[in-house]
Structure 1
């Protein structure tokens, strides 16, 4: 039946998601924490029993806790999953995400955008995660997916999302992280088992890439690490929100350069570049906005 333009506003069923300290540890190493110096940095995220170090969770872990929860996308129609890419991701964190806990998540289709026949279709979703113990909203998620070449289904032509522009000046901060060649195989253990990131046949024959690509949310996590350490001095309580647009794929083993422009008043624009300074250089996250205190 193709994409259903009447699905805007459709909600999924409330879904309970729980996680343990092991999930928090696995997410941390999945986004590269500790890789530069395993026993001297980020131990608060990569270990749970180091002397005089309190275990903490990365603020971006909410995107994997909420990944696929609710099922609102089931109302979107018949999607070609081989053509689907993550277009954007945002999170607002109302208090630090605990290293273990439980939330009830409800999602909805917030918008569907038709870029024209033979062009892309874009679907926006939103979700709220309510702490099952306190009843308070722990975090909120915003996401979009791009279905390549699936336009012409009769949806609106507009788009939503935060749009900011990086200044034409040197950044206030620049962080370089090296991803591993097996990064996607580690990250997928946090719950995103899409074969686009692990199966060479799927990546080449169905999706048209030369090899499996890194999860967009893994790149998002690497970027969030850089923002947390440069803007918030590593304190998750100071991290409020992060919105990214994915502009190009990342391949496992790529080097990531995160450039940050800080306005000094709790608002920063960022951009992530893969393979900077090489013939393969490309912007992979653009129009990024982080709010912190």
Structure 2
């Protein structure tokens, strides 16, 4: 198995940018400008297709499950409406483990002039996969703890917000929309929130609390996804500021949802 690359040109409309920012700010005052997480929205179809192309398969031929393990996003400048963006992705490594194959991907978003808009590092587990064989290197995750005084804010994501997020992000996986499908996938209580929607809630809290409401002051964010979040459940967001970084974790009644989280400020 060799490293896999893909280059796809994509654009987003102003309406798409606004709709996504609106849904991740549910419960907060309206705001303008692209969310730092919109880089992932643009890249995710390419990430999805690339994972499908690396030759992953199960021993019995059943479908390969996929779990989003971690996401890092470095933002050089916000996305603009209607600008062509090249999504340049490389699958940099895969490692065979007991539960499947873990993969690491590095993606760059490039403007028409070649300027780098954002870089993403994505970790995923292909559950049940027995191929491909191990190759390359998985990128290390740089999340660190903090000794700063913590601040805790409690939020929740309503069921209708989950549906709105699905359509705004383009992630229409049935586990986020249909209770039966979610239960068949192993989530006994039905529909679960998107992991990136939980990260979106945290980033918007940081924008308002530590960046004076200026989304362009966010230089990057990242977190590890630890456990599923049910709609309507309280989320305790623990925030700790260390100079230009706000470290965070998110806890729900069922356990830690996001860990080793960080947001970098300008």
The bucket for the TM-score relative to the shorter chain is: 0.7 to 0.9
The question of whether the paired residues in 2 share the 8 Å contact of 1:114 and 1:156 is answered with no
CA distance in 1, matches of 2:11, 2:41: 11
The question of whether the paired residues in 2 share the 8 Å contact of 1:91 and 1:242 is answered with yes
Structure 2's unaligned 5+ residue stretches are none
Q: Say if 2:240 is the partner of 1:261.
A: yes
Q: For 1:241-285, what per-residue CA distance to the aligned partner results, in whole angstroms no more than 9, with x for missing partners?
A: 111100001112222222121112x123211112xxxxx241100
TM-score, normalised with respect to structure 1: 0.79
Name the structure 1 match of 2:261: 288
Q: Say if 2:12 is the partner of 1:19.
A: yes
Tell me by how many angstroms 1:44 deviates. Answer: 2.4
Name the structure 2 match of 1:44: 31
CA distance in 1, matches of 2:226, 2:14: 32
Aligned length: 259
CA distance in 1, matches of 2:82, 2:202: 23
CA distance in 1, matches of 2:159, 2:64: 23
Tell me by how many angstroms 1:158 deviates. Answer: 7.5
CA distance in 1, matches of 2:177, 2:102: 24
From 31, 36, 56, the equivalent of 1:78 is: 56
| Structure 2 CA distance for partners of 1:233 and 1:113, relative to 1, 3 Å | farther
The question of whether the paired residues in 2 share the 8 Å contact of 1:111 and 1:125 is answered with yes
Equivalent position SS for 1:16: strand
Tell me by how many angstroms 1:156 deviates. Answer: 6.3
CA distance in 1, matches of 2:35, 2:81: 9
Name the structure 2 match of 1:123: 103
> Which structure features the higher share of strand residues?
2
Name the structure 2 match of 1:61: 38
Q: Say if 2:114 is the partner of 1:135.
A: yes
The question of whether the paired residues in 1 share the 8 Å contact of 2:55 and 2:132 is answered with no
Q: Say if 2:166 is the partner of 1:188.
A: yes
Q: For 1:71-118, what per-residue CA distance to the aligned partner results, in whole angstroms no more than 9, with x for missing partners?
A: 3223321356563111111111101333553311111102212223xx
TM-score, normalised with respect to structure 2: 0.87
Equivalent position SS for 1:182: helix
Structure 1's unaligned 5+ residue stretches are 1-5, 46-55, 275-279
Name the structure 1 match of 2:75: 93
| Structure 2 CA distance for partners of 1:35 and 1:22, relative to 1, 3 Å | same
Matches for 1:177-216 after TM superposition, within 5 Å = 177-190=155-168, 191-205=170-184, 207-210=185-188, 211-216=190-195
The question of whether the paired residues in 2 share the 8 Å contact of 1:196 and 1:203 is answered with yes
Name the structure 2 match of 1:48: none
The question of whether the paired residues in 1 share the 8 Å contact of 2:64 and 2:128 is answered with no
Tell me by how many angstroms 1:143 deviates. Answer: 0.9
| Structure 2 CA distance for partners of 1:78 and 1:19, relative to 1, 3 Å | same
Name the structure 2 match of 1:49: none
CA distance in 1, matches of 2:180, 2:104: 28
The question of whether the paired residues in 1 share the 8 Å contact of 2:70 and 2:122 is answered with yes
